[in-house]
Structure 1
């Protein structure tokens, strides 16, 4: 639905006023404070039409109106214009800040995250670069006293992962008979290292246990479980931490005055980073993604907006960054900040 210019102007004015005050907006306020060049009755009728269209709503019968998620979405898609002067100003600020961050990649990302949070007043999120070349360095099968087997995996970054596996029936029978299976597990470990050592995550993901079974000639289901665990453990070792900055700033917003809502969001940011990562990294290739309120798949974020983008090393995505705040967000600023930060960080990483 494409809005008429009059409706666009009134929706835009309502959003700007509500973002500034966090108070419902009346038609009288818009007439007095914005140069709409129309009568109070016209503004009142237009606001009524926007409410029927689902773009505004009244939180209380006697109150003014506030934007809905769909109202913000319409504003971002149809009305909002990029502020080039703001973008140039942010570009200079971030470029200077990155030049001052001499040292490790970690220090650089911490600095950018803190600057994003400070400039926006929202929560800044940055994922560390994924280890694109992560591969298996070594694995070992070790018998345990409880008739189970421990699979120990070492990745190229020397991170150690482990998991428990039930042995195949023939090995279980040997254990029950009191036979020593350590030598047999060593033989299988050596065979698997010969076949899997040095393989990347993408190669492990396409590996079929039956390809190994053709040479090992037995233990098909056991080999299948080992392959699955190797892939899962390597992926777990390669997953990237998420930097979180600016929680104290955003908690000052009136939308986060309810303790239960704050606790749910903090739990997501601190303890459910795997879920959070899937949302941050789900962005438009080469652009900025804006998810508003109920568009977010995670329930704790459905009263928030997320503005996110990828940053790159060369031509390959290295990680993602974003801003989380109330839906009552100054979208022009948030989008410009995320866009400039992603571009500046990409340039810094690509230049080495």
Structure 2
């Protein structure tokens, strides 16, 4: 936009937007004189209103009303006038740390807990996409006897999905008594869990088995050694068969609260938005988690793992028509510098931008840290 805001126009526009965010009522000159220390007369404010309306930053819903910010008005306000609230950022980080348990929960449960926390703190619709192409790591491994010549390897991934395979013992390996066989397999299971929990199963090929083979408490270690190469190769094969997680599912929370806002008083607009949120999540997912920006986002994350680009789409900047009565604030979260999902807030255009940006940034930072360490 070519219009150049001078200091007075900025004062009037910022005050008008803040007042409208607070009340959802059109703003008049007397309101700004009484409520804001602008040190200018009502006539000057009215002149400023006219200039800002002509420039497209404000508009009148009807002739006798005050002014309301346009999408362009919100855009220049967001770009020039606000700073994310550090207090809100710390609040959401603390709330997430108190509520979420990364040690005992599945990924889906973690994300559902996070989306509820954000919706409660923000009062807006909160959306978190499940991780995409996330590295699978080991939650638990169990080796059990299937019969006297077969071993079943069961791997529980950190997604709480399981995979298994049957390993046929070669003919030259002697058959063991059931009790000894079970003890050998349990010892191998314990060793594998102690070394691989939280790590890629492919790392089984890099393990130092001397700790197990040389254990004095294991007098029959020569039997255990017979299985190491066989099980190691089999587990590597199993890991390569594991499909990385890819899901377009979005965790959504907070719809009922935000629909009470006056912006959502038109029934058809509400129906269209609900249909998008409930039945067209594939379109929504592509908007929130945009693969086209991953290369740049990944570079930024490598330079500073705690930062990610914040995207703010106001009104008509949203390509999906049902969302054009809203603002969407979103950013990616990462696993080891790689963007694997997104956090988003969807609310009325008069949302509290300082708080909402801080909420999204802090939640993405927390999830990135946790999912990379997990």
- So what's the TM-score if we normalise by structure 2? 0.64
Counting only pairs closer than 5 Å after superposition, residues 21-40 of structure 1 correspond to structure 2 as: 21-40=23-42
Q: Which residue of 1 aligns with 2:285?
A: 277
- Contact residue 88 and residue 358 of structure 2 kept, 8 A: yes
Q: How many pairs were matched up?
A: 255
Q: Which residue of 1 aligns with 2:74?
A: 72
Q: Which residue of 1 aligns with 2:184?
A: none
Moved more, 17-26 or 84-93: 84-93
- Contact residue 88 and residue 359 of structure 2 kept, 8 A: no
Given candidates 295, 306, 318, the residue that maps to 2:317 is 295
Q: Which residue of 1 aligns with 2:16?
A: 14
C-alpha offsets along residues 1-50 of structure 1, whole Å, 9 cap, x if unaligned?
44222211211111111111111000110000111121211111111111
Q: CA RMSD in A?
A: 2.3
Cα distance change on mapping 1:38 and 1:19 into 2, 3 Å: same
Q: Which residue of 2 aligns with 1:164?
A: none
Cα distance change on mapping 1:50 and 1:101 into 2, 3 Å: farther
Counting only pairs closer than 5 Å after superposition, residues 123-202 of structure 1 correspond to structure 2 as: 123-132=125-134
Q: Which residue of 2 aligns with 1:312?
A: 334
Q: Which residue of 1 aligns with 2:350?
A: 328
Distance 1:41 1:307 in 2: 36
Distance 1:333 1:246 in 2: 16
* Structure 1 residue matching 2:128: 3-state secondary structure: strand
Q: Which residue of 2 aligns with 1:106?
A: 108
Q: Which residue of 2 aligns with 1:253?
A: 261
- So what's the TM-score if we normalise by structure 1? 0.68
Cα distance change on mapping 1:5 and 1:119 into 2, 3 Å: same
Moved over 4 A (4+): 99-102
Distance 2:135 2:289 in 1: 18
Matched, 1:348 2:370: yes
C-alpha offsets along residues 269-303 of structure 1, whole Å, 9 cap, x if unaligned?
01111111111113672211000000001111111
Q: Which residue of 1 aligns with 2:166?
A: none
Distance 1:315 1:37 in 2: 49
Distance 2:107 2:363 in 1: 15
Distance 1:158 1:85 in 2: 41
- Contact residue 101 and residue 107 of structure 1 kept, 8 A: no
- Contact residue 122 and residue 325 of structure 1 kept, 8 A: yes
